[in-house]
Copies of this chain bind each other. A is one copy, B any other.
Amino acid sequence: MIIVMKAGAAKKDRDVVLKSIRELGYKPHIIHGETRDVIGAIGGDHGKTALQRLETLHGVEQVLPILQPYKLASKEIKKEASLIRISDNVVIGGTQVVVMAGPCSVESEAQIIESALAVKKAGAHVLRGGAFKPRTSPYSFQGLEEEGLKLLAKARDLTGLPIVTEVIEPETAELVAEYADILQIGARNSQNFALLKKVGQLQRPVLLKRGMSMTIQEFLMSAEYIMSEGNQDVILCERGIRTFETATRNTLDLSAIPVLKGKTHLPVVIDPSHGTGNHHYVAPMCYASVAAGADGLIIEVHPDPEHASSDGAQSLRPEKFEEMMAKLRLFAEVDGRTL
């Protein structure tokens, strides 16, 4: 921590700061500047929160943290990229661009089977589909729940595609983990710490979506919650942040890809469907994501978008998805990767 004193702060104010630093188990080190003093507090990070509070002391201008608050998620701890195994032939974080695709919600056996066959045919590696749905309105369709999980499992049996589906509360997390290959944490639950701890205790890879107004640092702190409970298999998913722009549902932050790649060893996946909210914009954002280095994509595909029970406007039809996959493969190859 760096404590910046105000210009012309009194010596007695500075002495109180020095004393407080020592009381917290740190060693103070003063730099006398031309207009003000700056004090470094040397020590571990046991007392960082306490040091931050020195900002309330008289004569203190600001307290600047110099360390990142996450550890397990950090590249400082683990330099090489984490490879997360999803199934026998699907590993995310390496040279394979992993595509997860399927409908927003599981609606019926016919719908999920048709979707699974279609996305498999186009080359997807994982089937997505929601059984428990967190909806903004209590009056919207809330998902088929366990019945939906069973239908997903049937689709997996038929196609061999592992499945990713959302967990919305600690209570049903174990139930979902019985069926799912990847547990998804939605954007609205990205700081539901009770839920993060719960999935941290389960033996399943977690796809953690970034919250709508979550900074990269907070995103990594949420990953850290899961990892600190023992589960290291966290896949980070950028799905658009909230801005003033209304032409898209969210603003897809693709610079999050290189930023995260610089800070963490965890794989990064992009959700262009929620990120844009409009099926017209999905394919270009898929290409851009892979070109920017994303480890994977999660895409909404629905056999009949006009009759989807949620998010129809942002779902691709199977034929469009197939077309997109063909071109995406070429972009992956330029980057020395496979699809």
Contacts and interface: CB of A to CB of B under 8 A. Distances in A.
B215 A247 contact: yes
A327 interface: yes
B292 A285 contact: yes
A291 interface: yes
A279 B53 CA distance: 11
A245 to B, nearest CB: 6
Instruction: Find the residue from A36, A247, A257 having the highest chain B CB count within 10 A.
Output: A247
Given A284-B293, A291-B331, A313 B53 contact: yes
Instruction: Find the residue from A40, A305, A330 having the highest chain B CB count within 10 A.
Output: A40
A170 B169 CA distance: 8
Contacts of A54: 306
B242 A138 contact: no
Contacts of A66: 2, 4, 33, 36, 38, 61-62, 64
Contacts of A135: 193
Interface in A145-202: 168-171, 188-189, 191-195, 197
A321 interface: no
Contact of A291 (B76, B193, B287, B308): B287
Interface stretch (A80-88, A93-101, A110-118, A221-229): A221-229
B168 A170 contact: no
A254 B313 contact: no
A291 B287 CA distance: 5
B253 A251 contact: yes
Interface string A218-251: 1001001100110000000000011111111001
Given A291-B284, A312-B53, A312-B56, A2 B38 contact: yes
Interface string A320-331: 000000010011
Interface string A276-304: 10011100110111111100000000000
B292 A134 contact: no
Contacts of A243: 241, 243-244, 251, 253
A264 B56 CA distance: 20
A307 to B, nearest CB: 8
Sort A-B residue pairs by CB-CB distance and give the 5 closest, nearest first: A213-B213, A169-B194, A53-B312, A188-B191, A291-B291
27 contacts: A2-B2, A31-B40, A32-B42, A34-B42, A49-B310, A53-B306, A56-B279, A56-B312, A56-B315, A61-B66, A70-B137, A138-B193, A138-B225, A138-B228, A168-B194, A169-B170, A171-B194, A188-B193, A215-B246, A216-B247, A243-B243, A246-B246, A251-B255, A258-B281, A287-B292, A288-B289, A291-B292
Interface of A: 2, 4, 7-8, 20, 29, 31-36, 38, 40, 42-44, 49-50, 52-57, 61-62, 64, 66-67, 69-70, 76, 134-141, 168-171, 188-189, 191-195, 197, 212-213, 215-218, 221, 224-225, 228-229, 241-248, 251-259, 262, 275-276, 279-281, 284-285, 287-293, 305-310, 312-313, 315, 327, 330-331, 334-335
